Amino acid sequence: MDFGRLITAMVTPFNQDLQIDWKQLERLVEYLIVEQKSEALIVSGTTGESGTLTDDEKESLFRETVRLAAGRCKVIAGAGSNDTAHSVEMTKKAKKVGADGILLVAPYYVRPTQEGIYSHFKAVAEASDLPVMLYNIPGRTGVNVELNTVLRLMELPNLVATKEAHEDLNHITQLLLAAKPGFKVYCGEDALTLPYLSIGAHGVVSVASHVIGARMKDMIDAYLAGDTAGAAELHRKLYPVFKGMFFCPHRVASPAPVKCALQLHGYAVGGVRLPLVPCTEEEARYIRDLFPELAAV
């Protein structure tokens, strides 16, 4: 299974009552596929505020996004949690509604051993035949999925990719050297997309692609075509937006900044559920300034 080069970790649009806005979901999916060139969408990941969604909401999001995508891009269901049995249940729901794969985050907060991490991923992956993308984000989960653990998991036939959200390029290089044929490594940090590509990563799971996806695709395509100077120039131009979706001008918890950016671009995706809070007026002005085309709006 190839999920493509540019994957968007999609926000969950809410209405004024912070309930899922299904009409805005339809607009958002269309926009991400047609205008921002997303080749896959992750539904109910961290950027989708998975921690605040009920199981029924998640299942409905999986089903509706599959319907709206209509085969034009892959739909990856965020099925992971720090509860193995619950992750198995959500994986089965994703399979039932036609998702193309699942994203499994490392078990967070509880800080399991590597054996516990391995057993967790193995149990969930074996619950269905859906292609699995691991998600290693030690800065949020408190645990690192170590190289040997990933290599053990590669024995599972449906483990096809990993999303790595950290700056350890030594780890990525070793992983790429030892990976089984066809296994894909994705960058999980927008600002590191080009450095990851330069050592052999396949693509990116992005937040900024909500608003600069088409230009990110141009950067990826330029690099793959051998135009490294052009790719580097695009990286430098896009870098302020990469960072601005997480620091605007202070560190602001995602997805508040990207939801603000989408609002400024005409997509009313609503606010965020507590404990997250929306961007302040100062932060919104900072985000607007990242996009020269909005200067006259």
Contact predicate 42/76, CB 8 Å = yes
Which residue in 31, 108, 135, 186 is the catalytic one? 135
Q: How far apart are CA 175 and CA 160, in angstroms?
A: 13
User: Judging by DSSP bridges, how do beta strands 6-9 and 203-206 pair with one another?
Assistant: parallel
Active site residue 135: yes
Give kind and range of the element (H or E) at residue 69.
helix 55-69
- Reference 76, options 46, 98, 109, 47; nearest CA is 98
| Dihedral pair phi/psi, residue 211, rounded to 5° | -125, -15
Active site residue 267: no
Q: How far apart are CA 259 and CA 48, in angstroms?
A: 10
Quickly tell me which residue has 């039932």 as its tokens. 96
Quickly tell me which residue has 């005409």 as its tokens. 266
Which residue in 37, 74, 95, 163 is the catalytic one? 163
- Token output for 85: 């049995």
DSSP class of residue 279 equals P
| Dihedral pair phi/psi, residue 63, rounded to 5° | -60, -45
- Token output for 36: 């921002």
Q: How far apart are CA 213 and CA 89, in angstroms?
A: 32
**Which residues form the catalytic set?**
135, 163
